[in-house]
Amino acid sequence: MAIRIILLDLDGTLLTRDKQLSPANRGALERAAARGVHIVPSTGRFYQGMPTVVRELPFVRYAVTINGAQVYDGKEDAVLRRAEIAPAAAERVFDRLDTLPVIYDCFLDGWGYMDARHYGEIDRFISDPRVNRMVKELRKPVEDFRGFIRREGRPLQKIQMFFRDMDCRREALESLPRNLPDMAVTSSISNNIEINDKAATKGEALRFLCRHLGVDVRDTMAFGDGSNDMTMIRAAGIGVAMANADPALRAAADFVTDTNDADGVAKAIARFCFD
């Protein structure tokens, strides 16, 4: 097997807990890219929300963003694939979320939006300072959020909610897939749930990119840590979970590497790409 595409989740995987790209991880990516391997960020973030240090890597052309809602070609500045939530379906999701003790947002046309009331509650719902700062920087507060979405009248790329009550979150992770069968329900951090269109998964984006580039899916490697990485880990020729990953993801992976703070990506690339 010769690895031709490496897909990498960012938060909790390629990036350290301080949202940095370590020299060891960068060096491993550079070495793989020099051998002709496509290095593809695969993230729940929208493209402009990816750290500059990742977006400006000279060997990164393609990106899977918003959990697979978009596959983007940076060289051509073109969206190659979309899988978005229709406005009527989004209304059903919001109706359900309004019954839960959460704050929520959405991604629309490559940016995040949140009701101004919910934006004012971020500090109560998101205690991790790094996540707190990222959400504040990448969300625009709007008055009358649902009215704003209706007036826009366009598909949404993702809907995300944050919990304070972890028992409520566990119940929602069980009930939302039953109540929203046309949606993909996942999570990327300990207190969130993310909702995408059913076709917006990292696994489907991986398969699309393989078709686009003429690569056998068996010649791919994917790294992740959260449940939104599960389809990608299962689809890839080699699915790699971080040591800090969700237990279910570790169980599904072909290989478990070190943590995101201990250069787990670099270690796995060295094992499978350079032996």
The average confidence (pLDDT) of the chain is 96
For the residues 69-74, what does the mean pLDDT come to?
Answer: 97
Q: At what angle do helices 264-273 and 23-34 cross, to 10 degrees?
A: 30
Phi, psi torsion values for 103, nearest 5 degrees: -110, 150
Among residues 41, 37, 84, 90, the alpha carbon closest in space to that of 63 is found at 41
The answer to whether 5-82+200-273 and 87-197 have equal CATH topology is no
CATH 3.40.50.1000 fits domain 5-82+200-273: yes
Q: What is the pLDDT of residues 96-138, one digit of tens each?
A: 999 999 999 999 999 999 999 999 999 999 999 999 999 999 9
Q: How confident is the model at residue 275 (pLDDT cuts 50, 70, 90)?
A: low
For the residues 31-58, what does the mean pLDDT come to?
Answer: 96
Q: How large a percentage of the chain has pLDDT more than 90?
A: 98
User: Alpha-carbon distance 158 to 85, whole Å?
Assistant: 7
Domain parsing of the chain, residue ranges: 5-82+200-273, 87-197
User: Alpha-carbon distance 225 to 64, whole Å?
Assistant: 16
Q: What is the pLDDT of residue 244?
A: 97
Q: What is the pLDDT of residue 186?
A: 94
Q: What is the pLDDT of residues 178-237, one digit of tens each?
A: 999 999 999 999 999 999 999 999 999 999 999 999 999 999 999 999 999 999 999 999
Q: Is residue 1 scored above 70 in pLDDT?
A: no
Torsional sign, CA 45, 168, 156, 154: negative
Q: What is the pLDDT of residue 26?
A: 98
Q: How confident is the model at residue 274 (pLDDT cuts 50, 70, 90)?
A: confident
Q: What is the pLDDT of residues 138-150, one digit of tens each?
A: 999 999 999 999 9
Q: Is residue 66 scored above 90 in pLDDT?
A: yes
Say which DSSP state 242 is in.
-
Domain covering 87-197: architecture: 2-Layer Sandwich (3.30)
